[in-house]
Amino acid sequence: MVRRLPDKTSMALLLMILIFAGCSIVYISNVTTVALKDQTRDELGRIAAIIAQEIDGNAVAAIQPGDENTPAYLAISEHLRQYKKTLPAIKYIYILRKAGDRAVFVIDPNTDGEKPPAATGDVYPDPSSEMMAGFEMTSVERELTTDAWGITISGYSPVRDRDGTSVGLVGVDLDQEQALARQNIISWTSYMIVFLGILMAVFGVVGVEQTRSKMIQDLTDRERRFRTLFESTYDAILIIRDGQFTDCNVRAQHLFGGTKDEIVHKKIEDLSPPLQPDGRESQEKAQELLAKALGGTTQIVAWKHKTLDGHEFDAEASYTRIELDGRIAVQAIIRDITERKKAEDALKQSEQKYRILTESSPDAIYIVDAGHRVLYANMLASTLIGEGLRDVIGSGNGDGRRIPEQTGKADPIRQVLATGQIIKREDRLTERSGDTLWLDSTFMPLYDEKGDAYAVLGVSHDITERKKMETQIASSLQEKEYLLKEIHHRVKNNLQVISSLLSMQARKATDPKVKDTLTESQNRVRSIALVHEKLYQNRSFDRIEYGDYLAKVIAHLFESFNVNPAQISWKVDAKDVNLNIEQAVPCSLILNEMITNSIKYAFPGGRRGEIAISFRLEGNQYVLDYRDNGVGVPPGTNLERSGSIGMQLIHGLTHQLDGTVTIDTTSGIHYTIIFPQKQKGE
């Protein structure tokens, strides 16, 4: 018994040690696991809240299925990927949207996970109550969850738009494989103590303590990474409890010009001027903001802050309720918008100058969208829109005071938006009183940031007086054209009378020379009369088309001299050549003499031949080329010194045209006359 007592005592002691060690290990394991879970949940909540604050809620609300390649989607997705790089323990980051009692994906940038990323609009299977609560406030899963994406513990925080309305949530899944491994080690150690006894119990306590230290170190590392994220953000972040700042990042210290110790324990009103721009006291307004934020409604406001040395600056601040270390707090994110404010003020001044310019413009200036709604109109345009400009821009009949007289005109607004081209047009409007209003309008497209035409800028100028003057000028011009036409007609008739008188005189003459002289004079008068006849028939009263005129002159001369077309033929090359009346008359008399001489002398005794005339414009010089293939002139004859009236006329009239004449009698006769083109009035 004596021997066995120690054995029993030892066994009892060992059993007591075993029980004590086992209980201690179980207790330490539970405490460590609970601490790990609580620390992890706090970390997840803070990370999710910070990420949610930096997400543009308006952009998230606008993303719809199929927008995966839009700039807004890609920008937010890249932003989430950067967080994954900064915090390697994060397994997944994503954004969900509430759809009734379900949750659907908005953005899932996780391309390196166990499953392919979800598309916008995909339904999240079996959302937990903590997830659904995350649409309104920061929430964290209480236990590890196992799903298609692995074993994780998830934190959620609402994403809000500029009005503070929840438009979705940010979900952060933390990989807990290491924590699970440590928990398994603790469980395995507990089992081994049961089987190995006192030694395992004693050294197991040491092992548990070492494991706990490693867990604490791991949590410390995670806290350090969170602090790095907290400190590296661009905006000033401050934590508020009981109305006072309890923490702030480095950016906040730079923004307010002080150290952390100088900022903490101060209140919002301590870093603000006494009054805000709206005239309210900063203290009263700050208390109201904090009360609403603590109530769960994120507050986003424009705020006037000041640095510790009293320098005031404009800021944009958001206040959001968060949970830190199991306690409710308010997270303030403050951004200096001084430069943006200056830009906005400059824009307002620019808009004011623009408005002054448009309002003082003598033209009607207006902007109309695709639905024919007037987005802007200066004072003159407003008056015209009320009285009839609507009829021009296609927005109805206004008040009926004016009715557009043109019909079938295309809608300028739709036409500009469809083609992107600038359109200019004139419109005539008639009041019921009978008065007429003319508008000269220009319509040009206006483009948005994407380059799409969204509206049309119209500028309309009252040209009623100009139109009246144009009408008067047109009427006066029509009268003058009629008078000028009548003058040419009367000149032509008078010349016809003279030609008829000469013809009568020639028929009575008995002397052949006198008769020939009268006939030639008659033909000269007839040539001049044909010029006035062409001018009378033309729309232009200062120029005639010379090719058609030459054909008529030759036909008249052949008829006058009873020329057989089978004996003497002729051709004219004078296409698209025009002469003014000051050059047409002398040129016509020259050609009359040349053709008359060829008919009378070039083809005696029934000789066959041809008359060829070429008349063209080379540069600014007219070239008249006349030739016949008749008998020519006797050798030794000098036509240039001939005393005949015909040659005197050819030389005299060529001189009158400021031209030169060249005569070649090698084969038949060949005249070349060159004279400059003259404009009307030269």
For 454-484, the pLDDT digits (tens) are 899 988 888 888 888 877 776 665 555 555 5
- The sign one gets for the Cα dihedral 114, 116, 119, 124 is negative
- In sequence order, what E strands does 131-269 have? 139-140, 145-147, 150-160, 166-175, 236-241, 244-248
For residue 323, the tally of other CB atoms under 10 A from its CB is: 18
Give the pTM.
0.33
pLDDT of residue 604: 87
Do residues 120 and 66 lie in contact, with contact meaning Cβ atoms separated by under 8 Å?
Answer: yes
| Residue 296, SS3 per DSSP | coil
Q: What is the CA radius of gyration of the chain?
A: 53
Length of the chain: 682
User: Torsion angle, CA of 97/103/107/111, rounded to 10 degrees?
Assistant: 170
Across 636-661, b (16+ Cβ under 10 Å) vs e yields: eeebeeeeeebbebbbebbebbebeb
Percentage above 90 pLDDT, the chain: 18
How far is Cα of residue 263 from the mean position of the Cα atoms in its chain? 48
Which pLDDT score, from 0 to 100, does residue 169 have? 93
**β-bridge mates for residue 322, sequence order:** 329
What average pLDDT values come out for the chain (682 residues) when binned by 10 residues? Answer: 43 60 62 64 84 87 89 87 80 88 87 75 87 90 73 86 90 69 53 56 55 64 62 80 90 89 91 91 91 91 91 91 86 88 80 77 85 82 63 47 46 87 84 74 90 89 83 64 52 61 66 67 64 55 72 80 86 84 81 85 87 90 91 69 72 89 87 85 54
Closest residue by Cα to residue 555 from 518, 595, 519, 525: 595
Closest CA to 104 of 133, 64, 46: 64
Token pair for 110: 């996780």
10 three-class SS: helix
Residue for token pair 């310019």: 357
Q: What integer pLDDT is reported at residue 478 of this predicted model? A: 57
Please, what sign has the CA dihedral across residues 195, 197, 199, 203?
positive
| 359 contact partners, CB below 8 Å, separation of at least 6 | 378, 379
**Buried-state track 344-380, b at ≥16 Cβ within 10 A, e below 16:** eeeeeeeeeeeeeebeeeebbbbbbeeeeebeebbeb
Contacts of 563 (CB under 8 A, 6+ apart): 557, 599
Provide CB contacts within 8 A for 607, sequence distance 6+. Answer: 567, 630, 631
pLDDT for 158: 94
pLDDT at position 285 is 92
DSSP letter for each residue of 494-552 = HHHHHHHHHHHHHHH--SHHHHHHHHHHHHHHHHHHHHHHHHHHSS-SSEEEHHHHHHH
Beta bridge partners of 443: 423, 458
CA distances, 221 to each of 89, 216, 218, 315, 614 (Å): 11, 9, 5, 33, 104
Task: Decide if 609 contacts 564 (C-beta within 8 A).
Answer: no
φ/ψ (deg, to 5) at 667: -135, 105
The label of the residue with tokens 């009183």 reads 433
Q: What is the pLDDT of residue 397?
A: 38
What pLDDT sits at residue 298?
92
pLDDT at 306: 92
